[in-house]
Amino acid sequence: MPATDAPPMVRLRGVQKHFGALHVLRDVDLDVAAGEVVVVVGPSGSGKSTLCRTINRLEPVASGEVLVDGVPVPAEGAALARLRADVGMVFQSFDLFAHRTVLDNLCMAPVMVRGIPKAQARTEAMALLERVGIADKAGHFPAQLSGGQQQRAAIARALAMKPKVMLFDEPTSALDPEMVAEVLAVMTSLAEDGMTMVVVTHEMGFARRAADRVVFMDAGAIVEVAPPEQFFAGGGSDRTRSFLSAVL
Ligand code: ADP
Ligand code: MG
């Protein structure tokens, strides 16, 4: 659970974003405390991915503030690269490097970006593979792994950079149903270990169990923010209630 008086790990203030004529983020304000797990839900096209991507500036914003650990996200250059090293991201598609082993996938960025000695990077990577339950796959190539194993490798790869915050954008949406649970279990254990997490997902069970707060987005705006027990009780706005009746 988040400490009450710590400065937020992520702060969005008055964030506006357009794609041409489309207003995709409408005056978005959100604070994510250190150690907090925020689950973002909402209909397809409501701006959830865009919100996630503004946090590490994969999407620049037209106006408003984005801060990570109290520092405004830089527009470009080395400062932006440093920021991105602190913000781990896991997507729907596992996007591991296909021609590298799982172990190499985990070691590349720590060695090249953080300047960690190779031997140390390998030791730390093996510990992470152990943690996500695929240490036996270290020498395999991504295509030799199941989807669930690949996504666990992708999570371990993001963790190898020792990020301050982890962003997950529908990390289980591309998985066969029997593999969803193993990925959610890894995410739940990360949450329990105190990782700051922003998770876009349609897995309402995960939101109930793991979220400190649920954010409901609709048409580019944050419509509701509530602890899961309150959010799922359905006492919120009409839009929230109609969304819940469609997904529950
Ligand atoms: P969600 O993740 O909630 O499904 P997105 O953030 O992906 O929503 O998209 C929000 C809206 O912005 C959608 O209408 C989508 O079609 C549009 N959009 C997303 N990315 C782009 C882009 N690169 N160019 C133009 N429109 C985009
Ligand atoms: Mg999306």
Nearest C-alpha neighbor of 67 from the set 20, 122, 117, 12: 12
Reduced to 3 states (helix: H, G, I; strand: E, B; else coil), residue 5 is coil
Pocket test for ligand 1, best of 22, 41, 247 (most atoms within 8 A of CB): 22
What digits encode the pLDDT tens for the residues 32-72? 999 999 999 999 999 999 999 999 999 999 899 999 999 99
What digits encode the pLDDT tens for the residues 116-158? 999 999 999 999 999 999 999 999 999 999 999 999 999 999 9
Query: Residue 187 and residue 185: Cα distance in Å, rounded?
Result: 5
Q: How deeply is 169 buried, as exposed, middle or buried, from its count of CB atoms within 10 A (0-12, 13-18, 19+)? A: buried
Over range 105-112, report the average pLDDT.
97
Q: Report the relative pairing of strands 213-218 and 37-41 from DSSP bridges.
A: parallel
For all residues of the chain together, what is the average pLDDT?
95
Q: Report the relative pairing of strands 165-169 and 196-200 from DSSP bridges.
A: parallel
How high is the pLDDT of residue 234?
85
How many C-beta neighbours within 10 Å does residue 188 have?
Answer: 15
Question: Is the Cβ atom of 57 under 6 angstroms away from ligand 1?
Answer: no
Nearest CA to ligand 1 atom 13: 45
Identify whether the C-beta of residue 188 lies closer than 8 Å to the C-beta of residue 132: no
How high is the pLDDT of residue 127?
98
What digits encode the pLDDT tens for the residues 70-89? 999 988 999 999 999 999 99
Which of the four pLDDT bands, split at 50, 70 and 90, describes residue 7?
A: confident
Helices (H), the chain: 48-55, 77-86, 102-112, 118-131, 147-159, 177-192, 204-210, 228-233, 238-247
Query: Residue 193 and residue 247: Cα distance in Å, rounded?
Result: 29
How high is the pLDDT of residue 5?
66
